[in-house]
């Protein structure tokens, strides 16, 4: 992020940070300072997701963080049909009974073509309740990742696996293996719902219509052939975790 900021400044660009997988995550910058995901030090906007599988779940929707007051105010109006009720932002010159530009309490202005992008109150309440447990969930994710790493380290069927990094949020824990499809089916047969993250975007039909084809992004394609995401969620029990690991090892040993 620090290097991207320098690049963006050089070419007068914005940085919109996709932080959907990293709430609670952090890294150390070149000065040794801890930089939290979404703090806005290196980006104009940071985007978080409240999808059910994310760290903080509210059913759907998300959150934007920014240190730019102008962008903050613009986002507030865009999420609500472009409407503002802030009198200092009003643009119309209107005479009311109380005098010119003495706007009544009900007055509002639509100043831009916005959208209905608000979370419902019920979703917001659910999200706030989850924030209280966010640190505990993050610690559990780190523990799960550490156990995976130690249990699978040195196994000959592991091409690569997620590293253990202080500050990692561990939305996913990924291993790369041979015979990925059969492993996926074996785990599913045993009630373990692993997932594949992600199919390379350029291989989707929409982008193929734009001219993209296999071989255009060989690193992404090579990774996709072998990657599989293992169960990673704070309510994963010790017994369930051991079951997943044992089944992975037994698949390759049998």
DSSP per-residue letters across 192-246: ---B-----GGGSHHHHTTT--TTSSHHHHHHHHHEEEEP--TT--HHHHHHHHH
> What confidence tens digit (pLDDT) does each residue in 173-210 have?
999 999 999 999 999 999 999 999 999 999 999 999 99
pLDDT at 95 over 80: no
Tokens of 44: 């104009």
pLDDT tens-place string over residues 97-119: 566 667 888 899 999 999 999 89
- Condensed to tens digits (0 to 9), the pLDDT of residues 34-49 reads 999 999 999 999 999 9
Cα of first residue to Cα of last residue in the chain, in angstroms, is 44
What integer pLDDT is reported at residue 97 of this predicted model?
Answer: 59
Q: Hey, where are the domains in the chain?
A: 2-79+117-131, 134-253
Place of tokens 């291993």: 175
Q: Which two tokens stand for residue 160?
A: 């690569």
- pLDDT for res 244: 98
**Greatest CA separation found in the chain?**
86
Q: Return the bridge partners of 49, or none.
A: 62
Whether omega for the bond prior to residue 19 falls within 30 degrees of 0, making it cis, is no
**Does pLDDT of 242 surpass 80?**
yes
Tokens of 225: 């052939």
H or E segment at 134? helix 134-152
Q: Count CB-CB contacts under 10 A for residue 142.
A: 18
Low-confidence winner among 26-30, 83-87, 144-148, 206-210 (lowest mean pLDDT): 83-87
What does the pLDDT read at residue 216?
98
Residue 147: pLDDT over 70: yes
User: Can you give the pLDDT at residue 76?
Assistant: 92
What would the CATH number be for the domain defined by 2-79+117-131?
3.40.640.10
Query: pLDDT value at position 210?
Result: 98
Query: For residue range 64-73, what is the model confidence (pLDDT) as tens digits?
Result: 999 999 999 9
90 is written with which tokens? 């009003």
Kindly report the average pLDDT of the chain as a whole number: 94
Among candidate residues 198, 193, 249, the one with its CA nearest the CA of residue 223: 198
Res 104: pLDDT: 83
More confident call, 202 vs 165: 202
Using DSSP, state whether 18 is helix, strand or coil.
Answer: strand
What share of the chain in percent tops pLDDT 70?
Answer: 97
pTM listed for this prediction: 0.88
CATH 3.90.1150.10 assigned to domain 134-253? The reply is yes
| Same fold flag, 2-79+117-131 and 134-253 | no
């Amino acid at each position: 992020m620090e290097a991207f900021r320098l690049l963006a400044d050089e070419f007068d660009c914005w940085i919109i940070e996709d932080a959907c997988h990293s709430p609670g995550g952090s890294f150390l910058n070149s000065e040794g300072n801890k930089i939290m995901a979404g703090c806005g030090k290196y980006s104009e906007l940071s985007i978080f997701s409240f999808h059910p599988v994310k760290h903080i779940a509210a059913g759907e929707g998300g959150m934007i963080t920014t240190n730019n007051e102008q962008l903050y105010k613009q986002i507030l109006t865009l999420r609500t049909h472009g409407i503002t009720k802030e009198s200092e932002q009003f643009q119309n010159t209107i005479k009311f009974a109380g005098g010119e530009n003495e706007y009544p309490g009900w007055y509002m202005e639509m100043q831009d073509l916005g959208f209905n992008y608000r979370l419902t109150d019920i979703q917001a309440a659910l999200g706030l309740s989850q924030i209280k447990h966010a640190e505990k969930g993050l610690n559990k994710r780190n523990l799960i990742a550490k156990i995976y790493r130690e249990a699978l380290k040195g196994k000959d069927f592991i091409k690569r696996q997620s590293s253990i990094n202080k500050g990692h949020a561990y939305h996913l824990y990924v291993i790369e293996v041979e015979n990925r499809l059969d492993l996926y089916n074996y785990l599913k047969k045993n009630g373990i719902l692993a997932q594949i993250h992600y199919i390379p975007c350029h291989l989707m039909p929409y982008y193929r219509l734009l001219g993209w084809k296999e071989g255009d992004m060989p690193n992404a394609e090579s990774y996709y052939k072998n990657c599989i995401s293992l169960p990673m969620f704070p309510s994963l029990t010790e017994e369930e975790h051991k079951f997943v690991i044992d089944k992975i090892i037994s698949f390759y040993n049998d």
